[in-house]
C-alpha cells in the first residue's frame, strides 16, 4: 500500500482545529492531515516583519517535518489558514471608543479604543499577508494561504465577536454537524454564499477591495476543489 501523503494545516488556535480537523480528516481520508497550532496569530507578533515572516513560517514547517520524520516528498501541500480581521479597509472604517477593551467588528467597520493603534495593526498585517500569499513554496513544500473573513467564526457560524468560550461551543457544534458527512461538509464550504468561486490570486485581490475584509467571505473553496480534482486523477 502506498504511503499516504500529508497535508499540513497551520492554524492560529485550538478552536480552528476543533471545528475543522475531523471534517477534513474524513473528507481527505486518502491523506494524512496534521494541524499545527501556532497559539495566536503569527502575523500579529510585533517581532514578525516582512523581512522575516517567510523564514518564521518556513522554520515552523521544517520543525513539523523533523518532529514527524517527514521528507519533503511526504507532504502534498502546506495550508495556512488566516483571518483577515478587516485589515484591508480604509481608515474611515475605524471608529474609536475609549470605553472598549477589544476590537469589535461589523460588516462595515471596526471599533477600537485607539484608532492609531488599529491603523498601525492593519497596515502591518496587510504587508505580511501580501508577502505570504504570493509565496508558492516554503521549506521545499507547496504552500498556499486561505483566508476566512473577517474571521473563521464569521465564515463558519455567521456570527461576529464571539467570546473565547462561545468560540469553543460553536466549534464543537460545527465539528459534530460535519465530521461524518463529507458531502455535507464540501457543499457547505464550496456552495455557500461566502465562497467566492474565484481563482487564488483573484480571491486575494477581491478581499482587498473596499471593506470586503470585514465581510463574510472565504477562498477555502479553492483548496476543497483542488483536493477534489487531485483525488480524481
| Segment 177-223, tens digit of pLDDT | 999 999 999 999 999 999 999 999 999 999 999 999 999 999 999 99
pLDDT of residue 41: 77
Percent above pLDDT 90 for the chain: 89
Composition of the chain by helix, strand, coil, percent to 5 = 50, 20, 35
pTM: 0.95
Residue 1 in this model has a pLDDT that exceeds 60: no
pLDDT of residue 45: 83
Model confidence pLDDT, tens digit, residues 80-139: 999 999 999 999 999 999 999 999 999 999 999 999 999 999 999 999 999 999 999 999
pLDDT of residue 180: 96
**Helices 14-27 and 182-190, interaxial angle, to 10°?**
120
* E strands present in 1-140: 6-11, 32-37, 75-83, 94-96, 104-105, 110-112, 137-138
Q: What is the mean pLDDT of the chain?
A: 94
pLDDT of residue 233: 58
Q: Between the CA of residue 185 and those of 74, 145, 203, what are the distances in Å?
A: 26, 20, 21
pLDDT of residue 2: 61
Residue 3 in this model has a pLDDT that exceeds 90: no
Report the alpha-carbon distance of residue 202 to residue 200 in Å, rounded: 5
Cβ atoms 128, 85 nearer than 8 A = no
pLDDT of residue 39: 77
- Domain-wise residue ranges, the chain: 6-85+125-232
| DSSP calls for 147-214 | EEES-HHHHHH--SS--HHHHHHHHHHHHHHHTT-HHHHHHHHHSSTTB----HHHHHHHHHSTTGGG
pLDDT of residue 85: 97
Model confidence pLDDT, tens digit, residues 42-82: 888 888 999 999 999 999 999 999 999 999 999 999 999 99
Amino acid at each position: 500500500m502506498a504511503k499516504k501523503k500529508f497535508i499540513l494545516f497551520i492554524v492560529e488556535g485550538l478552536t480552528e482545529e476543533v471545528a475543522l480537523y475531523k471534517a477534513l480528516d474524513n473528507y481527505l481520508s486518502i491523506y494524512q492531515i496534521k494541524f499545527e497550532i501556532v497559539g495566536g496569530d503569527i502575523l500579529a507578533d510585533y517581532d514578525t516583519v516582512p523581512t522575516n515572516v517567510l523564514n518564521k513560517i518556513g522554520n515552523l514547517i521544517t520543525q513539523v517535518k523533523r518532529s514527524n520524520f517527514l521528507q519533503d516528498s511526504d507532504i502534498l501541500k502546506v495550508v495556512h489558514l488566516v483571518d483577515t480581521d478587516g485589515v484591508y479597509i480604509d481608515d474611515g472604517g475605524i471608529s474609536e471608543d475609549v470605553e472598549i477593551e477589544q476590537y469589535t467588528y461589523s460588516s462595515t467597520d471596526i471599533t477600537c479604543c485607539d484608532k492609531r493603534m488599529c491603523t498601525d495593526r492593519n497596515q502591518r498585517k496587510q504587508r505580511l499577508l501580501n508577502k505570504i500569499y504570493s509565496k508558492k513554496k516554503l521549506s521545499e513544500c507547496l504552500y498556499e494561504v486561505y483566508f476566512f473573513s473577517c474571521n473563521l467564526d464569521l465564515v463558519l457560524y455567521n456570527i461576529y465577536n464571539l467570546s473565547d468560550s462561545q468560540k469553543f461551543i460553536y466549534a464543537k457544534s460545527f465539528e459534530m454537524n460535519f465530521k461524518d458527512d463529507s458531502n455535507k461538509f464540501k457543499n457547505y464550504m464550496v456552495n455557500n454564499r461566502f465562497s467566492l468561486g474565484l481563482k487564488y490570486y483573484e480571491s486575494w485581490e477581491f478581499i482587498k477591495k473596499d471593506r470586503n475584509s470585514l465581510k463574510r467571505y472565504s477562498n477555502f473553496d479553492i483548496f476543497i476543489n483542488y483536493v477534489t480534482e487531485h483525488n480524481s486523477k
